[in-house]
Amino acid sequence: MEGITFHSEPELRNPSLIAAWPGMGGVAIIAARYLRDKLGAEELATIEPYNFFDLGAVSVHDQVVGEPEFPESKFYFWRSGGEKDLIIFLGEAQPVVRGYQLANLVLDVAQRFKAKGVYTFAAAPSHIYHTSRPKILGAATEPRLAEELKGMDVTPMAAGTISGLNGLLLGVAKRRNMEGICLLGEIPIYTTPIPNPKSSKAVLEVLIKLLGIELDLAELDEWAKREEEEMGRNIAALRESHAEEAKRLLDYFDQLEQASAEEGIQELLELSTEELLGDVERFLKREREKGN
Amino acid sequence: MPARAQLKIDREPQLKNPRLVLAWGSIGDVGTEAVAYLRDKLGAQELGHIEPYDFFDPAIEVENGVVEELEFPESKFYYWKNGDGDDLILFIADYEPQVGRYEYASLLLEVGQRFHVPRIYTIWAFPSLVSHTAEPRVFGVVNDVKLVPYLEQYPVIPIQERNLISMNGVVLSLARERGFQGIYLLSEAPHYATGTYHKSCRAVLRVLTTMLGIGIALDEFDPLIEQAEEEMDEIVKKASWAFLEDFTIDYGDFFKEEQ
């Protein structure tokens, strides 16, 4: 296969593909990395980066320039010991160009090992507080699969777009008549640039049910707790330092905290999403940076 | 991946001095609809297309939990044989490429080279403060100083100083590098225009067809323009009343109280 280096040629049984690229809250990539690490998945193949990425900076050590560095696009495999093995693909960065071709290469490899199902993850930013339990939305390549997801506490995504490769891969899978599911974990709209292991855990909970495998998710819980505490500290610090200036943002947090998880909040005070994100950038980001 | 693989030419017609006319999506779909009108009126035939995969990465759409089929924008070539006169190649693209403008422009110019195109025309429109009741102006830019007097023969306003950010400028500049003459005609459309703005299509086609020496009737635009004008009049009237009610005092009531 052109543009792909294979590190091993294992015999895999009915494998499913799980693929992830970085995106909002790192929901997808954190979940897929955790899965790879916890299962101890082994290296399978690497996609050459040259068609999809541009060279960035080159580091210097002791006056000597280092090797050119490209983001990795790498496959791993895991033998379950049972009937269903896994292929896990991790893209270190979203491709700069030719995402459609990258998605096709990823599926070429999956189909070479006769994979039928494809799973991806993504984030669904919404008006929830960072301490509440994220809902899981689902998008599938076929109505039958979307219907099956309902039984797993997954809400079908009513309408919208999934941008980036976590979405595009599913569109390409559909073109190839492969079955595909994207699980989207809710994340608070004010935390999109920071990791959200809580949402990653929530999508993994659904995935392991779908695949029928066991996985210890405790480490994600611990990480989620740390992130949650830090966010709590940042909001408290903001309340201390800028209570008046940041009033409408703080009011928004109060409202989210009081809203029940099911209902969410109906109206955003008088705040538009743009204004909200502007306030987050102005106040909350500053608290975060101070804390680091 | 070689860019050339992305150019799909399905036929090899013998064309005589074909002028190449290019259009991308813009406000009021002016360029694309104008060239599509030309294509339909002349009965131009399909020639080929540019594969979209190097240039577009669409976001996927979801409806009721189900992923929709992937849709890529189209970029298609047509040709028309003009009896004893000079032939035409038309190019209509839904959108400008998201990335890879240089490669994309090179593909267009490769078509130019393959069919020995002497001159390239690109058609576009920009949003302006022009009213829908006024006749839209047509502006022009050329890529060769020798073409300036040529442009002056037509009712086209020359653009003196401007940064051209659309693909049109990129293509014209590369075209000069590769030995093609190029003319860029851009019309204006009211910034509040939605959907296809036929008045600008007609305005730009009047100039283009004269330049190409092709006599086609443009009267099919007339009823569409009339209808759109009536609709826009209505919208403007409503907006003016809403403005009056929101931002002025009704002095009738004011005086009543005084009495």
**B210 in helix, strand or coil?**
helix
pLDDT digits (tens, 9 = 90+) for A235-256: 999 999 888 888 889 998 988 8
Q: Which pLDDT does position B256 carry in this prediction? A: 58
Alpha-carbon span B157 to A175, nearest angstrom: 48
Place of tokens 């998008």: A139
For the ranges A51-65, B39-53, B147-161, which has the lowest average pLDDT?
A51-65
Give the model confidence (pLDDT) of A41-95 as tens digits.
999 999 999 999 988 778 888 888 888 889 999 999 999 998 899 999 999 999 9
Helix (H) or strand (E) holding A136: strand A136-140
What's the average model confidence in pLDDT over A27-49? 97
**pLDDT confidence of residue B1:** 41
- Provide the pLDDT for residue A2: 87
The pLDDT tens digits for B15-34 are 999 999 999 998 999 999 99
At A263 the pLDDT is 60
Distances (CA, A) of A49 to A74, A95, A98: 10, 9, 11
Give the per-residue pLDDT at A212: 92
- Mean pLDDT of the B118-136 span: 94
Distance, CA of A273 to CA of A78 (rounded, Å)? 42
Can you name the residues that pair with A78 across neighbouring β-strands? A86
Tell me whether residues B1 and A164 touch, CB distance under 8 A: no
Task: Give the residue from chain A lying closest to B67, CA to CA.
Answer: A141
pLDDT beyond 90 at B245: no
User: How many CB contacts within 8 angstroms connect chain A with chain B?
Assistant: 83
Query: Residue A157 and residue B60: Cβ atoms within 8 Å?
Result: no
Across the interface, whether the CB atoms of A171 and B70 are under 8 A apart is answered: yes
What value of ipTM does the predicted structure carry? 0.85
Q: What is the mean pLDDT of chain A?
A: 92
Whether the per-residue pLDDT at A11 is higher than 60: the answer is yes
- Among B60, B64, B99, the residue with its CB nearest the CB of A162 is B60
Pairwise CB contact (< 8 Å): B66 & A146: yes
Question: What number is the average pLDDT over the span A229-233?
Answer: 94
Global pTM value = 0.84
**pLDDT for A68:** 83
Interface of chain A toward chain B, CB-CB under 8 angstroms: 51, 96-101, 138-143, 146, 149, 156-164, 167-168, 170-172, 174-175, 180, 182
Secondary element (H or E) of residue A117: strand A117-126
* Nearest chain B residue (CA) to A2: B1
Å between B215 CA and nearest CA of chain A: 42
* A139/B62 CB distance under 8 A: yes
CB A129 within 8 A of CB A257: yes
Nearest to B1 among A51, A160, A161 (CB): A51
